[in-house]
Amino acid sequence: MDYSRPPLADRLASEYVLGTLRGGARRRFEALLPAHPQLQDAVARWQRRLVPLAATVTPVQPSPRVWQRIEHQLFGAVSAAAEAPLRWWQRLGLWQGATGLAGAAAIALAVLIAQPQPAQPPIVVVLGTNPEAASVMQASFVASVSADGKALVLRPVGGVSVDATRALELWAVPAQGAPRSLGLVAAQGATTVVRAELLRNTAAFAVSLEPAGGSKTGAPTGPILSLGKLEI
């Protein structure tokens, strides 16, 4: 399929930004974005058209039931036997397999460590727009993580518009436990994050909308705009 054709790129981008492109089709589109500038440009155009409409909507504090539906959609059902409600980052049952994959990769690396290895390509993670936060902001990102797990470059797909009272914050989400902040994210251009153990216990990356300066609690306080599973 020729994604450089403007009519096709525009149609797919419009469905993606509106949220009507779902399931496998949406995942395939997000996987194509990093390698197709035509699609990125089309997404940016539709975001510029539609995102300002969201700014005219008065913010409403969601009820606990709404959060439960969001968490269920993103992370699956949680056992009814749980005595206390779990935060969204604790509901990562669908991603626990990533921990096993990381362990297998570590064993393979230990076996081959004595042999000269060619340069490894970066790990690419697509942080897709959270449909439940689409009324707040349409935001997608592509993260490129160095093979040694010590550096990450995050780029918005088509750019994101954030006013001066808000900030975007990047989080490393473990399979179990609370997420840890990786710092604020630039709404335009690339953001570089350098950490000694960037991928340690990391199952996914997420971007939240926070007050200016970022979360003051050490945990996400605003809506989760984008989320992407780490697959090693």
Q: Which of 170, 172, 166 is nearest to 213 (CA)?
A: 166
CA atoms of 119 and 41, how far apart (whole Å): 31
Q: What is the pLDDT of residue 146?
A: 84
User: What is the band of 19 on the pLDDT scale with cuts at 50, 70, 90?
Assistant: confident
Q: Domain limits of the chain?
A: 6-55, 88-229
Instruction: Give yes or no for a contact between 13 and 46, defined as CB atoms under 8 angstroms apart.
Output: yes
Q: Which of 104, 120, 49, 99 is nearest to 203 (CA)?
A: 99
Whole-model pTM: value is: 0.52
Burial of 52 (0-12, 13-18, 19+ CB in 10 A): exposed
Q: Which of 12, 229, 13 is nearest to 124 (CA)?
A: 229
CA atoms of 90 and 207, how far apart (whole Å): 16
Q: What is the pLDDT of residue 183?
A: 93
Residue pLDDT, tens place only, 198-214? 888 899 999 999 999 99
CA atoms of 44 and 161, how far apart (whole Å): 11
CA distances for 126 relative to 79, 160, 207, angstroms: 29, 15, 11
Q: Which residue has the higher pLDDT, 43 or 64?
A: 43
Burial of 138 (0-12, 13-18, 19+ CB in 10 A): buried
Residue pLDDT, tens place only, 80-137? 444 455 566 655 543 444 444 444 444 444 444 444 444 567 788 888 888 888 788 8
CA atoms of 3 and 29, how far apart (whole Å): 10
Residue pLDDT, tens place only, 214-229? 999 989 999 999 989 8
Residue pLDDT, tens place only, 45-81? 877 776 555 555 555 555 667 666 666 666 665 544 4
